[in-house]
């Protein structure tokens, strides 16, 4: 499959590195607004055509699929342009700023007969599959706690008044969109849509949400989600059932899952020390399969995965509504936290 890549950041680099370990993956073109940026990226991977307009990428006759890893705010318009040109689209998480926009893109992909799915890396890993099976072995689930708190490498610059893309809310960034999405996606994939949501967030002075906590209510079960870009978290993720508890090392890259029975006995459910580019090879294999299926009119698995993404974005829409996250950049000061 001949890929075009939009975005030249570290995520795109990991994507191509992983892809080049697989049969059938070809990096055909790289898009960037700056030619020198595209050229530097392409040179790292043995060369590829460098493009500076989206139209050139969309109309390129030798590109089958496009991987999009641009700033969040650009995902939807860029994906729409590629879909309308008949390209398969693999869209980095979060796929869209809201559920309605994502639904419209899914409808467009169905109309065009091409593959379109979110690149949610952990959802394609063996660890994720093992977790789905392990949940069935701990009885009725009563409480879930998922957390992703990581001090951003760009936060120190923000505190000095240097606002990089990761801390610009007008690009649809923030703790919820950037890392909270992993918590929300895993919750939906395992347990569906909650009946109730109570959300709180703390925002920086420019309007970006720096951290948040969400409590979700299900029939017979509660879940709490915690995410932050301004502090590191060390606690494990838990799924508590009546017959035992699962400990998961990471919601973004589950590599170690342990089961603790009610009698205190412990057992490893899953352990994999190999990072394999954080699971990106797994998701690329799946996307190649989705594209082949789409060409044959088969969309069942892709539809199932898009349903999880849509429900996740629906939850995130409600969290944003409750906490006032509106993707508007405000210049009311630097550093520190607001409300």
- Least confident among 96-105, 222-231, 268-277: 268-277
Q: Distance from first CA to last CA of the chain, Å, rounded?
A: 47
Where are any strands of DSSP class E within the chain? 2-6, 26-31, 49-51, 65-68, 88-92, 116-119, 141-149, 196-203, 209-218, 221-228, 237-241, 244-248, 256-261, 266-271
Q: What is the pTM of this model?
A: 0.94
pLDDT single digits (tens) 177-225:
999 999 999 999 999 999 999 999 999 999 999 999 999 999 999 999 9
pLDDT single digits (tens) 45-95:
999 999 999 999 999 999 999 999 999 999 999 999 999 999 999 999 999
Helix (H, G, I), strand (E, B) or coil at 160: coil
- Residue 273: the pLDDT is 80
- How much of the chain exceeds pLDDT 70, in percent? 96
Instruction: State how far the Cα of 91 lies from the Cα of 97, in Å rounded to an integer.
Output: 12
Number of other residues whose CB lies within 10 A of the CB of residue 139: 13
**Tokens 């992993």 sit on residue:** 182
- Residue 328: the pLDDT is 85
- Residue 338: the pLDDT is 45
Angle between helical axes of 99-112 and 75-84 (0-180°, round to 10):
10
Burial of 182 (0-12, 13-18, 19+ CB in 10 A): buried
Instruction: State how far the Cα of 294 lies from the Cα of 300, in Å rounded to an integer.
Output: 10
The answer, yes or no, to whether residue 10 has pLDDT greater than 80, is yes
Burial of 336 (0-12, 13-18, 19+ CB in 10 A): exposed
The answer, yes or no, to whether residue 123 has pLDDT greater than 70, is yes
From its phi and psi, is residue 176 left (phi > 0), alpha (psi between -120 and 50) or beta?
A: alpha
**Tokens 């920086």 sit on residue:** 204
DSSP state of 73: G
- Residue 336: the pLDDT is 44
- Residue 275: the pLDDT is 58
Domains of the chain: 2-119+279-298 (3.40.50.720), 123-274 (3.30.360.10)
pLDDT single digits (tens) 277-334:
556 999 999 999 999 999 999 999 999 999 999 999 999 999 999 999 999 877 644 3
Count of helices and strands (H, E) across the chain = 11, 14
- Residue 330: the pLDDT is 72
pLDDT single digits (tens) 249-284:
999 999 999 999 999 999 999 998 875 555 699 999
- Residue 222: the pLDDT is 99
- Residue 329: the pLDDT is 75
Instruction: State how far the Cα of 9 lies from the Cα of 296, in Å rounded to an integer.
Output: 33
Helix (H, G, I), strand (E, B) or coil at 306: helix
């Amino acid at each position: 499959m001949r890929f075009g890549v939009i975005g030249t950041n570290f995520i795109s680099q990991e994507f191509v590195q992983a892809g080049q370990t697989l049969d059938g993956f070809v990096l055909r073109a790289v898009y960037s607004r700056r030619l020198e940026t595209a050229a530097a990226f392409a040179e790292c991977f043995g060369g590829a055509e460098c493009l500076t307009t989206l139209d050139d990428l969309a109309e390129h006759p030798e590109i089958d699929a496009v991987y999009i890893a641009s700033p969040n705010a650009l995902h939807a318009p860029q994906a729409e342009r590629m879909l309308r040109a008949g390209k398969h689209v693999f869209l980095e998480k979060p796929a869209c700023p809201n559920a309605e926009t994502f639904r419209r893109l899914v409808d467009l992909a169905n109309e065009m007969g091409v593959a379109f799915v979110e690149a949610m890396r952990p959802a394609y890993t063996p660890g994720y599959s093992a977790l789905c099976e392990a949940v069935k072995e701990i009885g009725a689930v009563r409480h879930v706690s998922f957390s992703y708190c990581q001090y951003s490498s760009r936060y120190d610059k923000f505190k000095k008044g240097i606002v990089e893309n990761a801390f610009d809310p007008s690009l649809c960034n923030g703790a919820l969109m950037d890392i909270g999405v992993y918590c929300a996606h895993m919750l939906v994939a395992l347990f569906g849509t909650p009946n109730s949501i109570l959300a709180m967030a703390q925002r920086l002075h420019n309007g970006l949400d720096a951290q948040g906590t969400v409590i979700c209510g299900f029939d017979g079960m509660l879940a709490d989600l915690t995410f932050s870009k301004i502090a590191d978290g060390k606690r494990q993720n838990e799924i508590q059932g009546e017959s035992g508890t699962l400990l998961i090392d990471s919601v973004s890259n589950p590599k170690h899952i342990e089961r603790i029975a009610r009698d205190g006995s412990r057992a490893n459910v899953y352990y994999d020390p190999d990072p394999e580019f954080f699971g990106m090879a797994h998701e690329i294999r799946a996307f190649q399969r989705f594209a082949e299926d789409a060409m044959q009119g088969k969309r069942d698995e892709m539809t199932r995965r898009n349903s999880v993404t849509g429900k996740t974005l629906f939850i995130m829409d409600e969290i944003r509504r409750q906490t006032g996250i509106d993707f508007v950049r405000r210049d009311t000061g630097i550093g520190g936290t607001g409300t």
